[in-house]
């Protein structure tokens, strides 16, 4: 898979950094680091290029294509993060020249891509046969069952809406494992922070860790999602942990039932002939 990242906001560097997974990408735990990201691996070989667009541009651009990268490589997927709206409006031109199969436009702030602009860009990409996704925010991106390049990206790079596993003793979270991380990488930090936390305190602990990482999504209310982007991101990781707890408790219940059945069989007096 060949990925190219076009960005104006620094969040683009965080997305790329999470995929590359260099040793100093996450320092949130400081000296308490347990190197929990080792198992995630590195997808650096998928990154074919990054190009930053200046943020201090005038409100209107006569020739937005002037800010496109020169001679960009052919790629499969283009990720466009926080660029000028006029540049975004012309993104199908760049997508076609690069031969991409899909474009992801993560929206961490409503001002990055108003709904009207999103529909315009979706249409222009659809006209040239390019799949697109506009997750609000990036950490709610999910597979759509279309088996297109965007679904493949989620599967291969293990990013999008968080998916986790937990181990529980009594009402205590003893271990956590990240199966799919938020694209910013925060899921790893949250899972480290909730270890040895009692279930009744989880929502509070998750919120603290999510903010502390930090989550850089906007705190401005956006009627397109009916909430703030930071809150939506927080709900996503809370749901991931809740789903993991439900799954683990169900497994524990099944194990207990099997154990009771076995014990019953072993202790049942055998009928005499």
Helix (H, G, I), strand (E, B) or coil at 168: strand
Q: Classify strands 172-180 and 163-169 as parallel, antiparallel or unpaired.
A: antiparallel
| CATH topology for the 3-157 domain | Rossmann fold (3.40.50)
pLDDT in tens, 136-179: 999 999 999 998 999 999 999 999 999 999 999 999 999 999 99
**What does DSSP assign to residue 53?**
P
Is residue 21 within 8 A of residue 43, CB to CB? The reply is yes
Q: What mean pLDDT do residues 212-229 have?
A: 96
Report the share of the chain in percent with pLDDT over 90.
Answer: 89
Instruction: Evaluate the omega torsion of the peptide bond into residue 273 and state whether it is cis, within 30 degrees of 0.
Output: no
Query: Distance between CA atoms of 231 and 234, rounded to whole angstroms?
Result: 5
pTM passes above 0.75: yes
Query: Distance between CA atoms of 77 and 152, rounded to whole angstroms?
Result: 10
In the chain, CATH 3.40.50 covers: 3-157
Residue 263 pLDDT level (bands cut at 50, 70, 90): low
Helix (H, G, I), strand (E, B) or coil at 132: strand
Query: Distance between CA atoms of 158 and 261, rounded to whole angstroms?
Result: 39
Strand partners, 133: 104
Residue 268 pLDDT level (bands cut at 50, 70, 90): low
Q: Is the pLDDT of residue 272 over 60?
A: no
Q: Is the pLDDT of residue 270 over 70?
A: no
Other CB atoms within a 10 A radius of the CB of residue 53 amount to 21
Q: State the pLDDT at residue 236.
A: 98
The residues, any chain, with a CB within 8 Å of residue 237's CB and separated by 6 or more, are: 139, 162, 182, 186, 187, 190, 206, 210
Q: Is the pLDDT of residue 249 over 80?
A: yes
pLDDT in tens, 29-52: 998 899 999 999 999 999 999 999
């Amino acid at each position: 898979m060949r990925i190219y990242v076009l960005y104006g906001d620094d969040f683009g560097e965080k997305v790329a950094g999470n995929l590359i997974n260099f040793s100093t990408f996450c320092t949130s735990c400081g000296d308490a680091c347990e190197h929990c990201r080792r198992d995630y691996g590195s997808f650096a070989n998928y990154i074919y290029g990054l190009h930053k667009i200046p943020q201090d541009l005038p409100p209107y651009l006569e020739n937005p294509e002037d800010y496109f990268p020169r001679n960009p490589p052919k790629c499969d997927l283009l990720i466009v993060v926080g660029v000028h709206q006029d540049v975004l409006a012309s993104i199908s031109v760049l997508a076609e020249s690069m031969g991409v199969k899909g474009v992801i436009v993560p929206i961490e702030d409503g001002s990055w891509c108003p709904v009207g602009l999103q529909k315009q860009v979706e249409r222009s990409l659809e006209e040239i046969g390019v799949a697109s996704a506009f997750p609000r925010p990036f950490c709610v991106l999910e597979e759509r069952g279309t088996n297109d390049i965007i679904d493949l990206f989620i599967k291969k790079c293990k990013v999008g809406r968080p998916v986790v596993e937990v181990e529980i003793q009594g009402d205590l979270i003893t271990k956590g494992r990240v199966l799919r991380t938020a694209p910013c990488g925060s899921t790893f930090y949250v899972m480290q922070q909730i270890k040895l936390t009692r279930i009744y305190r989880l929502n509070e602990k998750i919120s603290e860790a999510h903010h502390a990482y930090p989550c850089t999504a906007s705190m401005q209310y956006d009627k397109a999602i009916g909430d703030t982007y930071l809150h939506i991101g927080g709900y996503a990781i809370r749901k991931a942990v809740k789903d993991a707890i439900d799954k683990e408790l169900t497994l524990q219940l099944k194990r207990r039932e099997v154990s009771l059945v076995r014990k019953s069989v072993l202790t049942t007096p055998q009928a005499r002939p």
